[in-house]
Amino acid sequence: RVYPVKNPIPYDTAFCYGVPNGAKKATNADLVVYITANEFCEGGYTLASAIGCDWDQYNRPIAGDVDFCIEKIDVKNSAVVPSSARGITDVAIHEFAHVLGFSSADFPFFVDPRTGKPRTAKAIQ
């Protein structure tokens, strides 16, 4: 059974790095994804990172941010080099999966569709 997101989607961007504070609602959507770019990235080979920013009453993501490290993108003559473009596409798909909930932080919120119960037991407090 599908439970549609109520419209407009009210979301809090406080946890999204680089997303403007004025952006607070979206209509006719189930998920809002911001694409941002950052010149100053953490060391190593990180090309992008992603995070869910807000979730609905069913713990489904309704807002997220994919942030690209522009210093790692190979650009010549104001165009992305084809070999770099393939890598960027693969990384973008991977990062969108994180926004959709495919991360260890979100796994506890997965629900068994047959029972409607969480697949992961809640931590003892």
Q: Any binding-site annotation on 8?
A: no
Is 39 a known active-site residue? no
Q: Label each residue of the chain as H, E or C.
A: CCCCCCCCEECCCCCCCCCCCCCCEECCCCCEEEEEEECCCCCCCCCEEEEEEEECCCCCEEEEEEEEEHHHCCEECCEECHHHHHHHHHHHHHHHHHHCCCCCCCHHHCECCCCCCECCCCCCC
Q: Was 98 annotated as part of a binding site? A: yes
Q: Which of 39, 42, 71, 95 is catalytic?
A: 95
Name the token pair of 81: 């080099």
Q: Which residues are catalytic?
A: 95
Q: Which residues are annotated as a binding site for Zn(2+)?
A: 94, 98
Q: Which residues are annotated as a binding site?
A: 94, 98
